[in-house]
Amino acid sequence: MTSNHPLDTATRLTRVAAARLAGVTSDTYWNFAGPFGGYIAALLMRAVMDDPRRLGPPVAQTVNYCAPLAKGHFEIAVVLPRSGKATQHWSLELHQAGTVAATASIVCANRRETFAHDVETRPAAPPPETVPVAPSPERLPWLGAYEFRFIEGGPRFGEPARDVGDLAPPVTRLWLKDRPDRDLDYVSLAGLADCFILRLVQMRGTLPPMSTVSMTTYFHALPDELARQGSAPLLGIATAKRFSANFHDQSMELWGSDGRLLANGMQTVWYRE
Amino acid sequence: MTSNHPLDTATRLTRVAAARLAGVTSDTYWNFAGPFGGYIAALLMRAVMDDPRRLGPPVAQTVNYCAPLAKGHFEIAVVLPRSGKATQHWSLELHQAGTVAATASIVCANRRETFAHDVETRPAAPPPETVPVAPSPERLPWLGAYEFRFIEGGPRFGEPARDVGDLAPPVTRLWLKDRPDRDLDYVSLAGLADCFILRLVQMRGTLPPMSTVSMTTYFHALPDELARQGSAPLLGIATAKRFSANFHDQSMELWGSDGRLLANGMQTVWYRE
Flag if A239 and B62 touch (Cβ within 8 Å): no
pTM attached to this predicted model: 0.98
pLDDT tens for each residue of chain B, 273 residues long: 468 999 999 999 999 999 999 999 999 999 988 999 999 999 999 999 999 999 999 999 999 999 999 999 999 999 999 999 999 999 999 999 999 999 999 999 999 999 999 999 999 999 999 999 999 888 899 999 999 999 999 987 777 888 888 999 999 999 999 999 999 999 999 999 999 999 999 999 988 899 999 999 999 999 999 999 999 999 999 999 999 999 999 999 999 999 999 999 999 999 998
Report cis status (omega within 30 of 0) of the bond before A180: yes
Q: Would you state the pLDDT for residue A165?
A: 86
Q: How many CB atoms lie within 10 A of CB B79?
A: 15
B106-129 per-position pLDDT tens digit: 999 999 999 999 999 999 999 999
Residue B109: which of A268, A171, A159, A31 has the closest Cα? A268
Q: Would you state the pLDDT for residue B84?
A: 94
Flag if A120 and B216 touch (Cβ within 8 Å): no
Q: Would you state the pLDDT for residue A97?
A: 96
Q: Which of A116, A213, A243 sits opposite B107 (nearest CB)?
A: A213
Residues of B in contact with A273 (CB under 8 A): 114-115
Rounded Cα gap, residues A54 and A48, in angstroms: 7
Interface test with B, best of A112, A117, A235 (most B CBs within 10 A): A117
Indicate the residue type of B244. S
- Which alpha helices (H) appear in chain B, and where do they start and end? 6-10, 37-49, 186-192, 199-204, 223-229
Flag if A273 and B115 touch (Cβ within 8 Å): yes
Q: Would you state the pLDDT for residue A138?
A: 84
A128-181 per-position pLDDT tens digit: 999 999 998 888 999 999 999 999 999 877 778 888 889 999 999 999 999 999
Buried b (16+ CB within 10 A) or exposed e, A213-241: bbbbbbbbbbeebbeebeeebbbbbbbbb
How many Cβ contacts (< 8 angstroms) between chains A and B?
211
Flag if B107 and A214 touch (Cβ within 8 Å): yes
Q: Would you state the pLDDT for residue A2?
A: 62
B224-255 per-position pLDDT tens digit: 999 999 999 999 999 999 999 999 999 999 99
Interface test with B, best of A82, A239, A242 (most B CBs within 10 A): A242
Q: What is the mean pLDDT of residues A240-267?
A: 98
The fraction of chain A above a pLDDT of 90, given in percent, is 89
User: Which has more confidence, B136 or A21?
Assistant: A21
Average confidence score pLDDT of chain A: 96
Flag if A117 and B203 touch (Cβ within 8 Å): yes
